[in-house]
Amino acid sequence: MLGSASYITLRNSTLRKAVLLDFGDTLVLMKESYVGKVEELRVKSLLEYLKRKGLAVGEREFRERFINVSERMNGFCERYSIELTIDVVVADTLREMGFAVELKDVWDVEQAAYGFLLEACALPGDALSALEKLMTAGFKMAVVSNTRSDWFVREALRKLNILDYFDYVSTSANLGVRKPRPEPFLKALKKLGVTCRETVMIGDQTTTDVKGALNLGMRVIQIVGVGQTVNSRLTGIKPTFYAQNLYEAADRATTLV
């Protein structure tokens, strides 16, 4: 992290340029030991949460219904680019099981549904160098993430000791809409005090990060993996540049605005 004097000077820079970064698989990665296990761990944590609430639910039925409701809602959200938060998913699951549950009854479910994932989060090896490069170059920075939990994104950034790099965190859980809709991007730009032409988006997903930012006239750097590269070719949606990692993306961003 930069020394406090240098940090304050850069954050107060009169230069009007910014970088927006996607959260998952761009800025933060999941440890391999958790891959393929998240839903099972989430169900286990939720069952413990419901037990503490005094709700006696059948484990097998809850698991099946929760996964079905979650997948159904996620499909709906992807189709209409809206967000339904995790409390909505859990409440609807319980209602399908015959419980008279309202959202206020599960207001504190986020930590049960996402708290265990904090241990699964890791930074790419080049993340700190990339963030330092952008900060030193005078960029304002914000995170723009599609997620069912605003709390999780902020806590993960805090736990990884990188939250202070960012002037704003924009989440679909907080706004109610997902990328590629313009609102998540525009909210961040307003908070940063910059325009689309003064901003570079760095992300990994073609149909959300790349498409949404391009539609607003931003320059976009896509961090590519096999899936994302194929996706770009199939959709015809192409970023301004591709990058193999976060540091390469940060380095390229310094040449664009």
Phi/psi of residue 223, nearest 5 degrees: -80, 120
Q: What pLDDT score was predicted for residue 3?
A: 46
Residue pLDDT, tens place only, 91-121: 999 999 999 999 999 999 999 999 999 999 9
Check pLDDT > 50 for residue 88: yes
Residues 35-47, mean pLDDT to the nearest whole number: 97
Closest by CA to 171, choosing from 113, 86, 89, 254, is 86
In three-state secondary structure terms, 224 is coil
Percent of the chain with pLDDT over 90: 88
Residues 175-204, mean pLDDT to the nearest whole number: 98
- Higher pLDDT, residue 114 or 2: 114
Which of 42-56, 159-173, 196-210, 234-248 bottoms out in mean pLDDT, i.e. has the lowest?
234-248
Residue partners of 24: CB distance under 8 A and separation at least 6: 30, 145, 147
- Cα distances from 183 to residues 7, 29, 38, in angstroms, run 29, 25, 29
Q: Measured over all CA atoms, what is the biggest interatomic distance in the chain, rounded to whole angstroms?
A: 58
Task: Judge residue 233's burial from the number of C-beta atoms within 10 Å of its C-beta, 0-12 exposed, 13-18 middle, 19 or more buried.
Answer: exposed
CA distance 84 to 236: 29
246 pLDDT band (50/70/90 cuts)?
A: very high
Enclosing H/E stretch for 142: strand 140-145
Check pLDDT > 70 for residue 14: no
234 pLDDT band (50/70/90 cuts)?
A: confident
Q: What pLDDT score was predicted for residue 16?
A: 77
* Average pLDDT, rounded, for the chain: 93
Which of 6-15, 36-45, 184-193 bottoms out in mean pLDDT, i.e. has the lowest?
6-15
Check pLDDT > 50 for residue 20: yes
Which of 14-18, 19-23, 45-49, 214-218 bottoms out in mean pLDDT, i.e. has the lowest?
14-18
DSSP-based helix, strand, coil % in the chain, nearest 5: 55, 15, 30
Q: Sketch the domain layout of the chain as residue ranges.
A: 4-28+123-253, 33-118
Residues 217-233, mean pLDDT to the nearest whole number: 77
CA distance 215 to 179: 11
Q: Output the CATH code of domain 4-28+123-253.
A: 3.40.50.1000
15 pLDDT band (50/70/90 cuts)?
A: low
Q: What pLDDT score was predicted for residue 228?
A: 58
Is the entire prediction scored with pTM above 0.95? no
Residues 226-241, mean pLDDT to the nearest whole number: 74
Check pLDDT > 50 for residue 7: no
Check pLDDT > 70 for residue 244: yes
Rg (CA), the chain: 19
Residues 49-57, mean pLDDT to the nearest whole number: 95
